Structure 1
Amino acid sequence: MHAMHVRDLDLNLLSVFDALLRERSVTRAAAEVGLTQGAMSHALNRLRAYFEDQLFVKTPTGMAPTAKAAMLAPAIMEIMAKLREDVVSQAQFHPQTARRSFTLCMTDMGELVFLPPLMRQLRKFAPHCTLRSVQVPLPQVKDMLASGEADLALGSFRTAPDDLFQQLLFLHEFVTMVSVRNTAVGDTITREQFETLRHIVVTLASPGGAAYDAAFDEHGIRRNVYLSTPHFLAVPLLIDQHPDLIATVPLELGNVFAKLGTVKIVPPPVPLPPFGLRQFWHPRFHEDRANIWLRRLIKETFEHYPDVRTD
């Protein structure tokens, strides 16, 4: 087909063709595409002129496609499907009907804190969407967000790249976790006990503990570090099996593990600054409707943490 002839085709007419093909009625097709019956008849006449064929003719059972219309139908239906799925669907985001997977970068502690409340909210407001959690080194987070492989990063990335957008969700405090079988430590832990007992320290690519490490240094407290691990979830099991070990962890983590009955939490012997948990996203997706919706959902879910929304 000549290029000039291609430019003569109004793409809106393809939606008219598609509706007539499915509805077999000028009235019903007009209602579907939002036209009056007169405007629909005019659009059909334009289609007939363009393709030099009647395309749809009246029969006792409705508007039937001609042989040429039947020949054109597969290609036009495919074009309309691609437009709806790959173009129109990107212009808006309707959570109740959307079918997509959201990918979040977070640590195992982040999964423990964020996923249960977020899953409840997502299943309520976007029932056909799913979640995927990935743990990647900090230097790779920006590339994951830029490429769209991940939608958001959630956590305490104190050295996150400056060109990422970020939003504070809530502040976390620290507690010290002790085995319930460690009878030497009661409801509080003394500085002497804190310095004498051996510690488990969680080390991440971007240490969330940098602030409280500095606080210990400022107070001249030296921790007797026995084990460093990148995994928060291993800590309570290790303390249960080795009651002489202790660990200083975020409050929510300590609360969850204390419910298991094998460990208890006590205030650290010195005041520690809280740290902020944030969500991060790449500028490429700052105006993306689905990303905006997800960010808003997460902010609304956690802005009153720990009294998160569950309704």
Structure 2
Amino acid sequence: MKRILYIHRIHAMDIKNVDLNLLVAFAAMTEQRSVTRAAESVGLSQPAMSAAVARLRLLFDDPLFVKTARGMQPTPRALALAEPVRRVMEAIKTEILPASAFDPATAAERFAIVTPDIAEVHFLPRILAHFVEAAPSCRLQTLSMSRHEAADALASGAADLAIGYLPDLQKAGFFLQKLFRNDYVCIVRRKHPAIGERLTLKAYLAASHAVVSPDGREHLLEQALQKRGLERRVVVGLSHFMSLLPLIESSDLVATVPRDLANICARHGDIRIVAPPFKSPVVEVHHFWHRRSHKDPANVWLRSLIYRLFSEAQRAGP
């Protein structure tokens, strides 16, 4: 009967009432068998250790350590608790307190990056090539969304990073790192009948243009043209940059696009790059992350990889 009542008292103990510091005191007492020595071993005063022992006795409803001629001897209850407490202390020391590490070679992480289609083409081939070598079990997902949605995705953890020209994310709660600068150039089909190696302002304004506005956003180029009082004859508006390649190849349209996209189009299509007849605005491309992920080892690894692969500073060297 006494055993049944004893078990009931233990099960009735509420974990909310357990101060983990008391387990430190218990472990010290188990090892030292002296209030004075136990206090010294954990950096407490003797009165503080005595108070901790008193709280332990109340918590476990047992004397735990009894004063004898041979020092403070543990009761049977204390001896039964010694090994479980040691395991808890070891788990806290080795599994909870240390910062978690990220080993890309063995990790199976799923990374999500907010980026427009232009950045998918620019960034993904090199990132995935590195994943094959360094992080073979990791997966990569790109997300296309508005700037407001991007902020929410980073804050909630639905996305790990956002890459691109995203001035709306330059605000409190977010970190950013500059990758490179991008200017604008014009692309036309290789055998365009009216545009040669050079493009005059008159010819530029007279041409038919294709304009890309992801999510309906106005870009720096539009703002720069408006400041100069220049208005293009826009024939077609697109929401995706990569729709330009077949369109420009098969028509006499002109598109003014970031240089990295122009290079991709020229590599993969019958496209020529022509300098615009005005000073191009410069876009700074950053990657962004939320403060909730700032010290996450997996996030640190991913953004370090992207910075190493794409930043101008890394390419330029010291």
TM-score by length of 1: 0.69
Gapped regions of structure 1 (runs ≥ 5): 12-45, 54-75
Matched AA of 1:286: H
1:133-185: per-residue Cα shift (whole Å, max 9, x none)?
11112211111111111101111112225122111111112110111131221
- 2:309 alignment partner, one of 288, 301, 304: 301
State the secondary structure of the residue aligned to 1:181: coil
List aligned pairs for 1:121-132, cutoff 5 A: 121-132=130-141
Give the equivalent residue in structure 2 for 1:219. 228
> Is contact 1:142-1:161 (8 Å) kept?
no
TM-score, normalising length: structure 2: 0.67
Q: Residue in 2 aligned with 1:256?
A: 264
Q: Which residue, 181, 189, 214 being the options, matches 1:204? A: 214
Query: Residues 249 and 285 (structure 1 numbering): CA distance in 2 closer, same or farther, change over 3 Å?
Result: same
Q: Distance in 2 between matches of 1:258 and 1:5?
A: 69
Identify if the C-alpha distance between structure 1 residues 103 and 144 changes in structure 2 by more than 3 Å, giving closer, same or farther. same
Say whether the 8 Å CA contact 2:170–2:176 is kept in structure 1: no
Match of 2:30 in 1: none
Determine the structure 2 residue equivalent to 1:281.
289
1 CA distance for matches of 2:14 and 2:221? 70
Quick one: distance in 2 between partners of 1:305 and 1:134? Answer: 27
The 8 Å contact of residues 106 and 133 in structure 1, kept in 2 or not, is answered as yes
Label 1:226 to 1:167 Cα distance change in 2 as closer, same or farther (>3 A).
Answer: same
Q: Secondary structure at the match of 1:177?
A: strand
Asked if 1:191 is matched to 2:201, the reply is yes
Contact kept in structure 1, 2:249 and 2:269, CA below 8 Å: no
Q: How many residues align?
A: 244
Secondary structure, counterpart of 1:159 in structure 2: helix
For 2:80, the aligned partner's letter is Y
2:177 is paired with a residue whose SS is strand
Q: Structure 1 residues 97, 237: closer, same or farther in 2, change over 3 A?
A: same
- Secondary structure, aligned partner of 1:91: coil
Q: Among residues 93, 96, 117, which one is paired with 2:126 in the alignment?
A: 117
Alpha-carbon separation, structure 2, partners of 1:267 and 1:185: 11
1:17 corresponds to: none
The structural deviation recorded for 1:214 is 2.4
Query: Identity percentage over the alignment?
Result: 31
Match of residue 231 from structure 1: 240
Q: Deviations over 1:172-225 (max 9, x none)?
A: 121101111312211111111100111111112374x63222222233322111
Larger radius of gyration: 2
Q: CA deviation at 1:105?
A: 0.5
Which of residues 159, 169, 183 in structure 1 aligns to 2:179?
169
Q: Any stretches of 5+ residues in structure 2 without a counterpart?
A: 1-6, 25-75
Which residue number corresponds to residue 275 of structure 2?
267
| Alpha-carbon offset, residue 125 of structure 1 | 2.5
Instruction: Give the Cα–Cα distance (whole angstroms) in 2 for the partners of residues 126 and 172 of structure 1.
Output: 29
**Quick one: distance in 1 between partners of 2:210 and 2:80?**
76
Question: Is the Cα–Cα contact under 8 Å of residues 198 and 226 in structure 1 kept in the other structure?
Answer: yes
Give me the whole-angstrom Cα distance separating, in 2, the residues matched to 1:206 and 1:169: 25
Over 3 Å counting, the alpha-carbon distance change for 1:132 and 1:261 in structure 2 is: closer
Structure 2 counterpart of 1:50: 80
Equivalent pair of 1:145/1:282 in contact (CA under 8 Å): yes
Q: Alpha carbon RMSD of aligned pairs, Å? A: 3.3
